[in-house]
């Protein structure tokens, strides 16, 4: 009893309140009484992750290409380089993000891998890969993501917009073979996730199908030219033929 009274005296200040040591002692003493649920009750459930699917149907009679193709990492502005689903609400200058909805990976990376898988599904290219596939590509495609957003206008029209620029580059010459901008819009209705996802899937599928057709036709009609050796000596000028004897008068 004497020891208990002494400890109580030590934990109280002269003014009658608890000292810092006393508060810490009481706080630690109360921790075992808290259950596991109480400790994590304040944590929020992470938002669900969504992914899109590659294209599996293509235009008929597309040519086959006997080249190896590398799909480069997709470039984009920082506002789109995220797992968050971008939203433009009543202004083309401001980008927000849809609550409780995220992509399974960053949007540019998702588009890159969908392009690789779609080109493989087409069976038109000799070999398809990305920067870590470990083969020497003959040509590469560089994609620039300019828009990949759900849009809501002032009059409450809702649609998903996609705009991606593409360049085909020959690796040997490091020269641009062709370039094109792909774009599309798909309307949706409501505020739930499923209609928005269906609209994103529709514009992405159309883009992937057009990308396959563009690459196949462009690469198959491009004639590969050997690079010019800038340091090679110029060819010798032809030696004029020796003059013959003068013709005799008749």
The number of distinct structural domains making up the chain is: 1
* Range name among 85-99, 111-125, 164-178, 232-246 with the lowest pLDDT average: 232-246
CB 55 within 8 A of CB 121: yes
Instruction: Say if 212 falls within a structural domain.
Output: yes
Average pLDDT over residues 219-233: 56
Instruction: Say if 165 falls within a structural domain.
Output: yes
Question: CB count, 10 Å around CB of 39?
Answer: 10
Instruction: Say if 133 falls within a structural domain.
Output: yes
pLDDT of residue 244 exceeding 90: no
Residue 224: the pLDDT is: 57
Four-point Cα dihedral 4, 7, 11, 13, nearest 10: 100
CB 137 within 8 A of CB 69: yes
Average pLDDT over residues 196-203: 98
Determine the distance from the C-alpha atom of residue 59 to the mean position of all C-alpha atoms in its chain, rounded to a whole number.
25
Residue 242: the pLDDT is: 63
Residue span of the structural domain in which 104 resides: 69-221
Instruction: Say if 248 falls within a structural domain.
Output: no
* Range name among 41-50, 65-74, 101-110 with the lowest pLDDT average: 41-50
CB 128 within 8 A of CB 58: no
Instruction: Say if 17 falls within a structural domain.
Output: no
pLDDT tens column, 102-137: 999 999 999 999 999 999 999 999 999 998 888 889
pLDDT of residue 27 exceeding 80: no
pLDDT of residue 36 exceeding 80: no
Residue 248: the pLDDT is: 59
CB 141 within 8 A of CB 171: no
Phi, psi for residue 106 in degrees, rounded to 5: -55, 140
Instruction: Say if 23 falls within a structural domain.
Output: no
Instruction: Say if 204 falls within a structural domain.
Output: yes
Residue 120: the pLDDT is: 97
Direct distance between the N- and C-terminal alpha carbons of the chain, in angstroms, rounded to an integer: 154
**CATH code of the domain in which 109 resides:** 3.40.50.10610
- Over the Cα atoms of the chain, what is R_g? 34
pLDDT of residue 223 exceeding 80: no
Of residues 46 and 26, more confidently modeled = 46
Residue the block writes with tokens 């409501």? 190
Alpha helices in 45-85 (DSSP H): none
Tell me the pLDDT band of 78, cut-offs 50, 70 and 90.
very high
pLDDT of residue 8 exceeding 80: no
Tell me the pLDDT band of 47, cut-offs 50, 70 and 90.
confident
Mean pLDDT score of the chain: 82
Determine the distance from the C-alpha atom of residue 8 to the mean position of all C-alpha atoms in its chain, rounded to a whole number.
64
pLDDT of residue 247 exceeding 70: no
Instruction: Say if 13 falls within a structural domain.
Output: no
Q: Give the integer Cα–Cα distance in Å for 219 and 168.
A: 8
Its pTM stands at: 0.73
Q: How are beta strands 84-89 and 49-50 bridged, if at all?
A: unpaired
Distances (CA, A) of 14 to 9, 17, 18, 21, 176: 9, 7, 9, 14, 83
Residue 14: the pLDDT is: 44
């Amino acid at each position: 009893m004497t020891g208990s009274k002494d400890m109580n005296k030590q934990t109280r200040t002269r003014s009658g309140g608890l000292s810092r040591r006393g508060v810490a002692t009481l706080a630690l003493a109360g921790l075992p009484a808290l259950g596991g649920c109480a400790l994590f009750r304040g944590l929020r459930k992470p938002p669900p992750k969504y992914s899109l699917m590659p294209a599996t149907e293509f235009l008929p009679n597309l040519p086959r290409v006997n080249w190896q193709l590398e799909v480069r990492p997709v470039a984009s502005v920082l506002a789109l380089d995220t797992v968050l689903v971008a939203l433009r609400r009543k202004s083309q200058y401001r980008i927000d993000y849809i609550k409780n909805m995220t992509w399974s990976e960053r949007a540019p990376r998702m588009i890159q891998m969908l392009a690789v898988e779609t080109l493989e599904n087409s069976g038109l290219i000799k070999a398809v890969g990305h920067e870590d596939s470990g083969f020497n590509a003959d040509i590469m495609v560089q994609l620039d993501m300019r828009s990949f957003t759900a849009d809501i206008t002032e009059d409450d029209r809702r649609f998903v917009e996609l705009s991606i620029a593409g360049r085909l580059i020959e690796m040997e010459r490091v020269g641009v073979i062709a370039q094109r901008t792909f774009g599309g819009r798909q309307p949706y209705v409501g505020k739930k996730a499923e209609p928005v996802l269906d609209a994103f899937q529709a514009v992405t599928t159309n883009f992937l199908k057009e990308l396959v057709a563009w690459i196949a036709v462009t690469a198959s009609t491009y004639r590969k030219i050997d690079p010019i050796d800038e340091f090679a000596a110029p060819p010798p000028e032809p030696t004029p033929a020796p003059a013959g004897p003068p013709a005799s008068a008749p």
